Amino acid sequence: MKLSGVELRRIQMPLVAPFRTSFGTETSRDVLLLRVVTGEAEGWGECVALSGPLYSSEYVDAAADVLSRFLIPALAAHGRLDANAVAPALAPFKGHRMAKAALEMAVLDAELRAEGRSMARELGAVRDRVPCGVSVGIMSSVGELLDAVGGYVDAGYVRVKLKIQPGWDVEPVRAVRERFGDDVLLQVDANTAYTRADTRHLARLDPFGLLLIEQPLDEEDVLGHAELAKVISTPVCLDESITSARAAADAISLGACAIVNVKPGRVGGYLEARRVHDVCAAHGVPVWCGGMLETGLGRAANVALAALPGFTLPGDTSASDRYYRTDITAPFVLEDGHLPVPAAPGIGVEPIPGELEAVTTKTQWLSL
């Protein structure tokens, strides 16, 4: 493929309700989209970086900057190109995995559309629908949390994940177990809010039969997770620490995780995400697909990834209306707790022009 240009488009999507995690509260999602234009087709990429460097070191303005000043010009210098060549072409630039992932996603989408192949087929999907979980933010009271969880259970979500932090952990978990019973698949996500000194406290979650505890400790404290895993009975799952397939292999070898959350943006793209899946499968480690409050574009690609055979746990691939009243694509709607895997060429969905325009705050065209 020959690239003719890339459009960077910033959109602002209001959330249906504030989303609170251990690192902060968001009421709106500031997203960077890429549209790659080639001689044969166009492709869409979505950058999952947040407005501030709170989940990881990346943030949207930095992603737009590194894309326009370094990553896109480096691709342009390559001449003819396919999606497999994107990561090697960008490898001289350190870090910025979410920015790289967005660019690779857009090139992959364009390539697959040109060839009439779906992302699901390309990645190796073995299912045409995937079971869905939901991530439930920190609330101001347990009563409010129980109402929220009740709504999601009624909507059909097959798994519930509670965001936790010191002061909001044992009590909400106990309350959800008491109200909804032992059969609900329940897990927690701390987004690095604890330290090794909290080991005894985290062991208090053991009696609740959680599926997993996600990223209790610092992103760089892989050894700490291995030490913690020896003491607590809840399986440890890593999110922030897993930045590549190699990081996944190392963490598994160290005994730092029994389960891995796969997020394509965090590892530099869907092709590396598939390698994380492969490494985990080779070690018998179950994986599930994480979420970054994607629009329908990123959601479509995530659902395709979640259809791979090693994704044996329900992911954070929720329906569009979990986060957005109006999505920029046709909405993903929960059917019997599942989302359908798009089968059309590329990511299988496209923005609705009017909806996209309505949320756009800025566009920039880079001619190549």
In the complex, the residues that contact Mg ion under the rule CB under 5 A are: 189, 214, 239
Span of 19-27, 65-73, 304-312, 350-358 interacting with ligand NPQ by CB under 6 A: 19-27
Least distance between Mg ion and beta carbon 261 (Å): 6
Query: Which position among 94, 100, 161, 263 bears the catalytic label?
Result: 263
Query: Which position among 94, 100, 161, 163 bears the catalytic label?
Result: 163
Q: Smaller CB distance to Mg ion: residue 241 or 320?
A: 241
- Pairing relationship of beta strands 360-367 and 3-21 according to DSSP bridges: antiparallel
* CB-CB contact of 276 with 250 (8 Å): no
If binding is defined by CB under 6 A, does position 332 make contact with ligand NPQ?
no
Q: Which of residues 99-128 bind ligand NPQ (CB under 6 A)?
A: none
Least distance between Mg ion and beta carbon 42 (Å): 32
Span of 32-40, 205-213, 268-276, 289-297 interacting with ligand NPQ by CB under 6 A: 289-297
Which of 169, 221, 239, 327 binds ligand NPQ (CB under 6 A)? It is 239
Burial of 235 from C-beta contacts in 10 A (0-12 / 13-18 / 19+):
middle
If binding is defined by CB under 6 A, does position 22 make contact with ligand NPQ?
no
**Listed residue (319, 296, 315) closest to 306, CA to CA:** 315
If binding is defined by CB under 6 A, does position 324 make contact with ligand NPQ?
no
* CB-CB contact of 5 with 72 (8 Å): no
Q: In what order do the strands lie in the sheet with 42-47?
A: 42-47, 24-38, 3-21, 360-367
Which of 19, 44, 152, 270 binds ligand NPQ (CB under 6 A)? It is 19
Least distance between ligand NPQ and beta carbon 163 (Å): 6
Segment (H or E) for 24: strand 24-38
Q: DSSP letter string over 40-108?
A: S-EEEEEE---SSTTSSS--HHHHHHHIIIIIHHHHHTT-B--GGGHHHHHTTS-S-HHHHHHHHHHHH
If binding is defined by CB under 6 A, does position 241 make contact with ligand NPQ?
no
Tell how far CA 24 is from the center of its chain: 18
Q: Smaller CB distance to ligand NPQ: residue 33 or 292?
A: 292
- 161 included as an active-site residue: no
**Listed residue (217, 258, 253, 254) closest to 234, CA to CA:** 258
If binding is defined by CB under 6 A, does position 135 make contact with ligand NPQ?
yes
Q: Smaller CB distance to ligand NPQ: residue 191 or 241?
A: 191
If binding is defined by CB under 6 A, does position 294 make contact with ligand NPQ?
no
Least distance between Mg ion and beta carbon 267 (Å): 13
If binding is defined by CB under 6 A, does position 55 make contact with ligand NPQ?
yes
Cα distance between residue 276 and residue 270, in whole Å: 10
Burial of 309 from C-beta contacts in 10 A (0-12 / 13-18 / 19+):
exposed
Binding-site partner at residue 316 among Mg ion, ligand NPQ, none, CB < 5 to 8 Å by type: ligand NPQ
- Amino acid occupying residue 31: V
If binding is defined by CB under 6 A, does position 291 make contact with ligand NPQ?
yes
If binding is defined by CB under 6 A, does position 38 make contact with ligand NPQ?
no
**Listed residue (253, 261, 188, 186) closest to 219, CA to CA:** 261
Segment (H or E) for 366: strand 360-367
**Listed residue (76, 126, 31, 13) closest to 368, CA to CA:** 76
Q: Smaller CB distance to Mg ion: residue 104 or 214?
A: 214
If binding is defined by CB under 6 A, does position 46 make contact with ligand NPQ?
no
Least distance between ligand NPQ and beta carbon 266 (Å): 9
- 163 included as an active-site residue: yes
Q: Smaller CB distance to ligand NPQ: residue 50 or 101?
A: 50
User: Active-site residue numbers?
Assistant: 163, 263
Contact residues for ligand NPQ, defined by CB under 6 A: 19, 21, 26, 50, 55, 135, 189, 191, 239, 290-293, 316
